[in-house]
Structures are given as C-alpha cells and as structure tokens.
Structure 1
Amino acid sequence: MDRVTAPPLPLEEAQARLLALASPLTIEHVDVEGALGRYLAEPLHARRTQPAASLSAMDGYAVAGLNLTGPWRVVGESAAGHPYIGTIAIGEAVRISTGAVLPADASAVILQEDLARHGDEISLTGEAPVPATKHIRPRGMDFIEGAEILPRGKPVGPAQTALAIAAGHKYLPVSRKPRVVIIDSGDELAADPEHCAPHQIPASNGAMLLALAGSTAVDARRIGPVPDTIKAITSTFEASSDADLIVTSGGASVGDHDLIRPALERWGASIDFWRVAIKPGKPILVATRDTNGRRQIVLGLPGNPVSSYVTAYHFMLPMLRAMLGAAQPLPMHFTASLGEPLRANGKRREFLRGWWNGETVIANPLQDSGALSSIAASNVLIDRAAFAEDARVNDKVQIYLLQNGGIA
C-alpha cells in the first residue's frame, strides 16, 4: 500500500511524522529584545548573581544583633542605588528603603510603621519581624552566577526577556527565522475582494494563514491566487525554492482539479503522507524535497477555510515552532465542562468550534467547514474522539485555545 492510498493517519502520528522532518536551522545571536517570540537554541546561564548583595524588601530600619526590642540610634541611611558605607554595631540602626543594600552586620529590617522615632533614636512600638530575616532578600535569592536560568527550547516572552537582561545577557542564541511561502491556488479565487464575480470567492485563506504564521517569528510571504494548472503551480513551487516551508491551500484532495500532488511530483518532491483522520481537515498532505544539501517541506492544506485553519493550527504552527527550536511545539489542551450537551460523534475525530467563558464551553451551532463566521466567533476547538457518545451538561471535554494560536 503506497502513501497516497494508505488509510488516514491518526492526528498524533501525523504530527509526529511531520515534526520528525524538521531540520535544525542555523543558530544566530540577536539582541535580547529582538529575540522576543523566538526560542532559545541553547540553555541560558546567569552571568551575574541576583541580587548581587542582600537587599531590604521593605521601607524601615536595618538593625544589628538578635535583640529586636531596641532602642537603637540611627547612624545613617541606605537608599536604592546609594548604599550605607560601613558597618553598624549592636544598638545602631540605618534608615533603609525598599531595594537598598543591607548594611554590613545588619541582621534584620524592622518596618517603619512598627517603630517610633524621636530625633536619632528609634524604639519598637509594633511587632518585630519573625523570623528576623523576614524582610530581607538574601544575596542570590533569584539566581547565582553560572546557574541555568532558562532551558533550551524555552520561548522568549516579556518575563524571559527581563530575566535574561537581569542575568547579564545582551544577546541570546536563537535559531534563524524559517522562510515560509504561503500559496493560494484555485480558479475560483478572486484576488480583489471588492471585485468578486458570482462564480468566485475572495482569496481569504492565504491572508489567514499568513496571519497565523505571523504569530510566530518567521519570514513569510504570500503568493496567489495561482490558477488550477500544473504548469502554474509547478512554476510557483520553483519560485519558492528558497523556502524552508511551503504551505498550500486547496488542491490537495483527489478531484480532477486538485493538482498539488502531480505538481509536487513534477517539481521533484516526494509525498511523505496524505490524509489525517480528523474533521475538518482530512485531505492534508506532507511532502519533502531535498536539494543542494537542504530539505524543503511542503504542507498541503485543504481549501475549505475552516479546514485550512484547523489543520494550520495542528500542523503548520507546530512545524514552525519546531523549526524555531521550541521544546514543546504542539498546542496545549485543557479540560473544561460542557455548558450544553453534544451529540454522539462519527467515525472521525472532530474539532468543534466553540466558546469558552472560563468555566464552561459550548459548541457553535454552525460547524460547516466553509463557515468562516463560526471560526471568527470561537475562541476554542472542542476535541471530540471518534465514536464519542452523547455528552451531557457538565461532562468534561478537552479544548484547545484559539486566541493565541495555541502557543505553548
């Protein structure tokens, strides 16, 4: 049985086979802020200790010794960026602000509201800290020099950006951005949505897929609409010879005008697998072309817009994350309670468009694979197993979040 006539693959097997095709991209070092949205190509180690000295976590007074009943004589001040120079002895105190360096020999910070001050003398009027170090951030509390602070494959977001800078990094190692070409094909597609004849539909899939790809750090461009001829489609593949990933929309099925497969063969690509046992999105195609020591991957998505979106979510986005070096490229799923019942499912695993309010989820009443309004009105996909039985209100289901493209 060849790859074209083989039965549809289960989703997880198809995803694993696709991701196994991803070739490592070259590593480049970019400035920390320019790495936002990318993935670390190497583990990141701290180049400094944070905090570099013990700091006060509150406004108050730093005192020495174990006797926290006072009184104390105020001998100076330590402010953030302006530490107190010298040591303090038993019975002495230093006025200290949040984030300021703790004076040498200080053993505790007492909150200013727990003290009364008369001239240079302070006395305890409230509670002493328990333990004495309660309001002290010790040196190295966050991380110490040489410690691994972020693993390889970690996405670089706002918090990771701040952490890398705090750890002394100006540049980060990341994989180069994948080059992506997205191709719309079909004689029925109109390039200009303002001039669309009755026998045409506006070419919206390419823009949708380009926007989805743009949720990751890629260099992507769109070509099309491309006419339904082998010559035109093959020429478009030739014009995409610099791409790491080529994504087509439409023409990957078995109709007389579905010409992606023969065009790929003419171009020199070989089919890895075709068809996945999901709904919507069964006629998905994966092919590879090895040339000049590098591998190009072609992902042929269905032409129906919702099918195209769902398969891009489960295949294109994970592939791009894998190319970027993500440790966890697949979308995360969560458990939610049904707010409305669901009917029994058929022989294919189905991803229903739905709305999750943070507590319960309901399926959109319109589930046709051509209905863009339903995907635009949804924020989750509800995962329904093949031959799933009727589900009742409050039954648990698995959902995938759509608003962030399912990024892990």
Structure 2
Amino acid sequence: MVVKTSSAKVVLISAIASGQGKTTTTAALARKLIKMGQSVRIFKTGPDFIDPMILARASGAPVQSLDLWMVGLAASQAMLAQAAAEVDVILIEGVMGLYDGNPSSADLARAFGVPVLAVLDASAMAQTVGALALGLRDFGPVNLAGVIANRVASEGHAKMVAAAMRDIALFGSLRRQERALPERHLGLVLPQEVVQLETILEQLADQLEIDKQAWDQLPLTEFSLPDLPETPHLLQGKTIAIAQDAAFAFIYPANLDCLRQLGAELVFFSPLADQSIPLQADALYLPGGYPELHAATLVAARHWQNSMRAAHAAGMPIVAECGGMMVLSDLLTDQQGQSWPMLGLMQGQIVMQQQLAALGAQALATEQGELRGHTFHYSRFETDLVPVANTVKHWNSEVGEAIYLDGNLQASYFHAYFSSNPAATAQLFLKR
C-alpha cells in the first residue's frame, strides 16, 4: 500500500529516566486501546531488541525502530506515514529519559510534531509528580499532552497527583503491579520465556485507568510519505540462513526487510534445536542474543557445530554480531564463572561480567559509506586477534568496537542497522 499523506492519533511515551515503567505502560495502553476497538501500531525509539518483542505481543504487530540518526529522518517518516495510513493510533516508546541522548526522544517528538505522554513513577511521591511534569514540559520544551502516573497506591493517591498537575492533564494511572515484566542483564526477559505473558498484558490493560475525554481530545498528526531511493537487488538469487531462537533473538525487523529488499531469500534455523545450517544457504547471519544462558545446549548441539565449522572452511560469508561472535570463540565463561567450549573459529575467550561493558550508537566506515548501528553487551573478548577496523562512537567520535575478519567471516560486538546502508550490508553477505 503506497500513501502520500496520512494521519493518526500519535503519542510519544517517555519518562524522566529508565525504570519508570515506559514499556509496561506502553504495552498496557496498546492492549487497552485494542480492547476499546482501536487499531494500534507501536514503534520503539532508538536501538532495542527486547522491548519491541514485548510490545509486538501487546499490539499484535511487529515493532520497528525510529531514530533520527541510526534509522534516519526520511526512513522514520516513511514508516510513520505508512503506519498512519493503516491504523487509528500510533504509540512511540521513548528511550531512557525524554531529553537523554543525541538525538533524544524529545528531538524525535519535535521532528514530527508528536505530543508526549510522560510516564512518572509515583510510588514514592505524590504532588512532586506535578513538578517533574512541569520540568519535562518546559526544559525543551515539548508538547506535553499529559502524564500517566505509574505504580499508584490508591484512588486517593491518584487524586493527589492529579491536583498537583496544574495545567497538565493526568491522562491516566496504573496501580502498583503484583505481576510485573521480569528483567535480566540486557533488559526485559524475552517474551517466550515469560510465564502467562498474555494474562499479564490483559491484567495491565484492565488496571490502566484512562481519562477518555483527554484521550479523545488528542489531535491527529499528519505525515507525508517522502521519496526514498530504491534498494538495489545486490543479493538477488542469494539465500541467507539466519539463526533464530532464544540464544540468537536480537534481530531488527528492518534488517530482515532490508535483506529481502536486496533480493535475498531468507531461511531460518535454530542452533538450540541442533539444526544444521540449511543446505541451500549461500551466506549465514548469526545475530546477537543470550548464548551465555544456553551454553550447555549449544555445547551439545553437534550437528549445528559441525555445519558451522564446515561452512567456515568452505568460505561461506558469515556475519556474526555480539552473541553471534561469542559462540565463535574458543571459550565462553558465563556470569556464574563456569566455562564452556565454543566453536573455536576465533582465537580467544568471552568472559561475562556483572557491569556493562559497552553501550551506545556507533558507525562503521565502509567502501560503500557509513553503516550505522549500536552496541550493548556485558561481556569482553580476550583475544590476541588484530581487528581489521573499528567502529566510531556517535556521541564523541572515539574508537568503538573492534571488527574481526577471517576470510569471509566478519565478527564484532557491533549490531548493524542494515537499512542505514543497504549497499554496505550486501557486501557483508557476498564472498570477498
């Protein structure tokens, strides 16, 4: 479906910081609106893998990333315009705090004229919620449509919050949750691992109190569809095998779209199920995930291991990102200190650690131009291998992640956003 202009009710859901309950509130609001008969599409600001999976379950549709730098203004606008032509409501979950990052969630809201809903954790305050809301509105400023107070103790507590809001609407409130979305070291737990996730989402929707009059008064936001360059079919006739299961789950939906637009056929397989690389594959994509949580299963997956070693020996192009690189090493030491033998295709060992090792937007210079993406990991790679290149950190232009190359195998902690440079992406999956 091709559109020129379209409109929908759109809000960007942000907060003062991480941990305020943005994802929980966005999921609850999406499910609430769907139960009210509205069609809903959700986007996630910035690089993220797990939150979009939860939000996709809440809304029933894939969740794409929006980011003025990594995704780009025109591509972000195109996705919003297309979504606005198809649904009644678009929810955009912000990242970190409203003004954090460059570009920030506030920058995204202003770029597209989108009003902001602030999620504020009211569990340890009441009237001070109003002060925080005023600060969020006026610092930028942004068009702050209202506040959703999270973790409210009672109806009386919600009334105290509402009374302190002055001219800012209390759009809604969400009671303290007995059953919350669980977390681990890279964020929320994967949706397939959450027991009774559908029940939790339904309960959150029922617990979310919405001021329907304030919601109905939200204006429509209009988007025009920009002219985007056509993606060249540089991978026409190529079949790319993609590892996809709980150990290799960190895949941007846009990356799959980009590979298909480049002309590639995609086939999926599960290393955890000990599935070999599909025989028709011309190239392999090993995305990030949680291999450290499934090390014992991967060690026992002999068919998968043998197919990996055979593919590398045959010169198959292999692109390994973060968790995908971790399994190529000699050894992986998990957070409990237990060591597991990996594939041994890259000299060195992976060591999990308690503190964050790296986080943020980065870019890789290629012959085809800049390929953008991000990094986020809790492990380090101890190796004598010499990288062929390094990414550059977006926020300060310092040296970022190492890029390792062995024949047709390229590995790094760097997660590339393929659509930022389709031509550079195609070269990753072609023999050198």
TM-score by length of 2: 0.23
**Structure holding more helix per residue:** 2
TM-score by length of 1: 0.25
- The structure number with the bigger radius of gyration is 1
Greater relative CO, 1 or 2 (CA 8 Å, sep 6+): 1
